[in-house]
Structure 1
Amino acid sequence: MGTCNSSPDITIARGGLINSITWRPMLTLASAHLPIITSIEKPAYLVSVDNRTFVKFNKANWVGFAEFTESTFIALPISTDVRVGKCQFRKAIAAATARFMPAGRIAEIRPNVPAVLANERETLRHADPGDPRIRDLN
């Protein structure tokens, strides 16, 4: 802008990935601007998991689930078509599951890293990024 002859190139990434990122300017182009190739190597301590949703059955609100499904089934009109009845049944169960059963996806896991220590480190980082205890937890 204005009289400035250059502009900064910015890469935004999670703090834990900073040591896994490399930047390489493309010097072969006959241009005043050098494109920068940004590469991110996945850290060895991160392991990908399948894209699955996990349901926490032990934390489900079973009383609420039962009451919701029973009241939904009672309110449904009686269908003479089995396919329509099956569809209504599945919708009721899916709605009750979404409402009364906690579920989620684990995007990445860190084997051999206790979650308690990782959570403590993140809490310290949030409260005071310069806390010396963070180094020990890393």
Structure 2
Amino acid sequence: MPTSGQATSPDVSLASEDLLSKLSWETETTLSSDHLPVIIRLSTSPLTIPAPNKTFTNFLRADWDGFKSETEAAFASLEEQRDPYKEERLFREIVNKAAKHHIPSGRRPTSTPGLPPEAAKLTSQRDALRTNNPTSPDLPLLNNKIEMILRKSQTARWHEYIQTFDHKTKPEKLWRTIRTIDGKKRDPPNPSIRFDGRTYTRPKDQARLFNKHLTAPIKHESSKENRVIKRKLKSLSLETPIQTTPSQVSKAIRKCKSSKACGPDGLNALHLKNLGQHGVAWLTKVFNGSLAKSQIPIIWKKSIVIPLLKPGKPPQD
């Protein structure tokens, strides 16, 4: 409340004697309200928390022309290989190297929301006026102007954000926004999970049990089509193995969904869809060599499984 032209702060803060010498107490004039915030600072060493070491890849800004040019030049210069394991390793190394050069990736930086330049200028004027003359009749006028500018800026940013929606190529962004508007909260993290009536809290134990559960043998089921294919495969000789063609491989790649999820080899469907003719031809060699020698690259036998909690289900089960 103003007293003799000076603002006072009737708030009371309590501190122990050992902390009193390390504390500073002040009011701020930044907010538009007359109820000024009180800031209490404690002089001590800051507690730093490391950011999560997670890499994000921006496929929307990928230079696919550069990616194709680099991979085509690399595959065209390769020497003939007769080992499916080596052929797969070379294929993986070339594609991953080109992806690193032409697809932006890295850790997501922290963002600090800012004010529009016009609002920031008026805010500085208001803070200076509030410090020198807290009873000035111009303070409400400045607050109204600042609030109006902020509303217009928020509306403009919202319209700009909506225009980035594309339900055909990026539907998850649209649905994520709809869930946010509806006020639906994300599923809570799993603090503990029950397996066979026992509760496990250690992540290592949970991962081990998930792995055992997901790789458990299942009852074999067959069909007439599968039995026909199996009889045909058994009748073939290893001296005349099945041969795939680049056109068949290209057709299979085109039928794949444009998934951004990478496997243990670091590759996904988008990498394959943007290969040139030399890249497809080399991948065809890998398939034919694997069929001819009955050798499947080890990394193709591995997978990444991410269990997802169904909506409304208890997270511990």
TM-score range, shorter chain: 0.3 to 0.5
TM-score (norm 2): 0.22
Task: Flag the structure with higher strand content.
Answer: 1
TM-score (norm 1): 0.47
The structure number with the bigger radius of gyration is: 2
